[in-house]
Amino acid sequence: MFRRSILIISALIASAGLAAAELPNFCTDEDQCVYAFVENKASATVTSVKIKQQSGPNDCVSGEEKTISGNLAGGTPGFPGEGVWFQVDPMCKYKIVFKTTSGCMGDKTTHFYPDDLKKDDPGAKLIGACGTLQAKTTSK
């Protein structure tokens, strides 16, 4: 738990310069919320990330959408790329869509399911090169 807290604090400090706007928060009950992350490990630049809550139990609001705006620099060997932490309700489903610079192709969509959000440090990563992008749900 201590390691997770340090990672969250470090990530929040690193993302503080990303955008002046608040980071997405889908929490309805602070005691039940978990932190999740999006990270760009691809060689392309991510210009924004759309996070859309899907319908489901526990008052999950279908269609509630929030955006992380500002560029997330891509990763290269030895450098992980940029990422951002945000809060979600672990009982809901979420669709994650990475938007990249124009011309970059590939699968840029992934999903968080409640089982994914029960893992330590759940996240969504964009990997690959500009023509072979792939979004994956993972944990750190």
Confidence of residue 47 (pLDDT cuts 50, 70, 90): very high
Q: Describe the strand order of the beta sheet including 122-127 as a list of residue ranges.
A: 83-88, 34-40, 122-127, 133-139, 106-107
Beta strands (DSSP E) in 41-132 are 46-53, 65-72, 83-88, 94-100, 106-107, 109-112, 122-127
Q: What average pLDDT score do residues 41-68 get? A: 86
Confidence of residue 6 (pLDDT cuts 50, 70, 90): very low
CA distance 83 to 54: 23
Confidence of residue 24 (pLDDT cuts 50, 70, 90): confident
40 vs 22: which has the higher pLDDT: 40
- Domain map (residue ranges) of the chain: 2-139
For strand 133-139 and strand 122-127, is the pairing parallel, antiparallel, or unpaired? antiparallel
Residue 10 has pLDDT above 70, yes or no: no
CA distance 118 to 121: 9
What's the chain's average pLDDT?
A: 82
Say which CATH topology domain 2-139 has. Immunoglobulin-like (2.60.40)
Residue 105 has pLDDT above 90, yes or no: yes
pTM reported for the whole predicted model: 0.80
- Cβ(124)–Cβ(110) below 8 Å: yes
Residue 112 has pLDDT above 90, yes or no: yes
> Could you tell me the maximum CA-CA distance found in the chain, to the nearest angstrom?
42
Residue 7 has pLDDT above 60, yes or no: no
